[in-house]
A = this chain, B = another copy of it.
Amino acid sequence: MHSQSVSEITLAYIGGGSLNWAQVLMADLVHDRTVAGEIRLFDLNLEAAQRNAAIGNRLSEAHGLSIRYTASETIASALTGVDFVVVSILPGSFDDMAKDLELPEAEGIIQAVGDTVGPGGLVRAMRAIPAMAEIAEAIRKYAPKAYVCNLTNPMSVLTGALYAAFPDIRAWGECHEVTKLRHIIAWLANRAEGAIRYGFRDVQVNVLGINHFTWVDRAFVGGRDWLPDYLNFAAENRENGWRAKPLDPNDEFQRYFEDINRVKFDLASRFGIAAAAGDRHLAEFLPASWYLNRASEWGFGLTPVDWRRRDQAKRREDARLAETGNEVPPLRTVSEEALVGQIRALTRGETLVVNANMPNIGQMQGFAPGTVVETNVLFSGHGVRPIHAGRLPAAVEALVKPHAERQNTVLQAVLAGDGATLEGLFLSDPLVAPLGQDRAAKLFRAMVAATAARLPEKLRRLSA
């Protein structure tokens, strides 16, 4: 209908001083060209928000968009009356994140990422949930009808925190990990066609699971389901792994973030269904004896915090140049993120089916109501509505569900300031359990002590 026209919106970006996500959004809006209006950047670091606003406005002008970027001094002024909210915050500093990895490592516990499950994920959740609940309260007050896209990890518990604090919030958690599998399926279909006919967006996958531990039981493209082909392909490449383009051993990013799909292929071969996230995420949900304790053998990287620090410094320098340089900042290529497409669907009534994290209201059988699950969701003129995804195979459900239930419990315990329950959960965390209950209890207290300054009063007392 109005597909050539432009939609006027207001959007508040919480964490708008971000050196990555905010700039991805700016570029995607340039490529899309259907959105106009105001984007308010709010960040605890006001200067970073101002810098991003300046960059955004330069891009906006240079490319002829009617989008105005502003930096908000308070969350209230950022949120008041907006149509959309994006939440992309960093729970704690890189120093906190380093402790999340190093203290467990000293006890022999290896984590590939440490931001979702395991000891690192739990402590990060303790830091982030209270902040997220405050943001939800502010949204309830200043923009109760806004659509809210959460980009922050640990995704499941933080999306859950938004709903716990404001049950009527229109929020979803957005993550791109599943695109990795969609790329492989498109590659398989193109190989069969002998031509590049399909991109990853053409692959309709039915997603089941929880964030970073997602599974796909149907992958439809070109008139048929490619899951059986994928399972065969996984079995063939289980021993040696495979990537569309070989890893570049000199590329540090690849070394720490990429994989050769061996974990995915091993899981697919054993369980008859496709695991859909990156290998380094998947490995953290499974017994350490399976993959985590032999990461290099399985071909996936462990992400060091040191790299994150160096990367951030580099990005900061790039941003400084983009803000102040004589030339218009270079335009990134369009990303694979779904956010701009979601805004279009909600604003213009387009019909977009894509995976997102939302509280279970029936979309995933076998999981308790309210558990934040990742399945397909319909974005359209009706808002954001989960689509029924079915049920995981029983042996896979036995892998996924205990993690989901733990996340539910962590969320409730952090909100209740119930440190005793958190300690109990920590002791039996699958990555922690091999330590024995005494060493585990000591590790928990050490980790809490290390990040105490970031914790609410009640949870801080634990470390005594």
Contacts and interface: CB of A to CB of B under 8 A. Distances in A.
Interface of A: 1-2, 7, 197-198, 202, 204, 206, 218, 220-223, 225, 266, 270-272, 286-287, 289-290, 347-349, 351, 353, 361-363, 365, 376, 378, 380-383, 385-390, 393-399, 401-402, 405-406, 409, 412-413, 418, 420-421, 423-425, 427-428, 430, 433-437
Given A204-B380, A221-B349, A385-B388, 13 more contacts: A1-B197, A204-B382, A223-B348, A266-B437, A289-B434, A289-B435, A353-B378, A362-B363, A386-B387, A394-B425, A397-B405, A398-B402, A398-B409
A418 B435 CA distance: 34
B378 A387 contact: yes
A202 B349 CA distance: 9
A395 B421 contact: yes
A382 B206 contact: yes
Contacts of A425: 394-395, 398
A219 B271 CA distance: 43
Please provide the 9 A-B residue pairs with the shortest distance between their CB atoms, ordered closest to farther: A362-B362, A395-B424, A220-B381, A287-B433, A402-B402, A289-B436, A204-B381, A394-B409, A386-B388
Number of copies: 4
The A interface, classified by DSSP as helix, strand, loop or mixed, is: mixed
A58 B22 CA distance: 61
B382 A385 contact: no
Contacts of A398: 402, 405-406, 409, 424-425, 428
Nearest to A401: B405
Contacts of A197: 1
A409 B388 contact: no
A233 to B, nearest CB: 19
B385 A385 contact: no
B405 A424 contact: no
Contacts of A434: 287, 289, 434
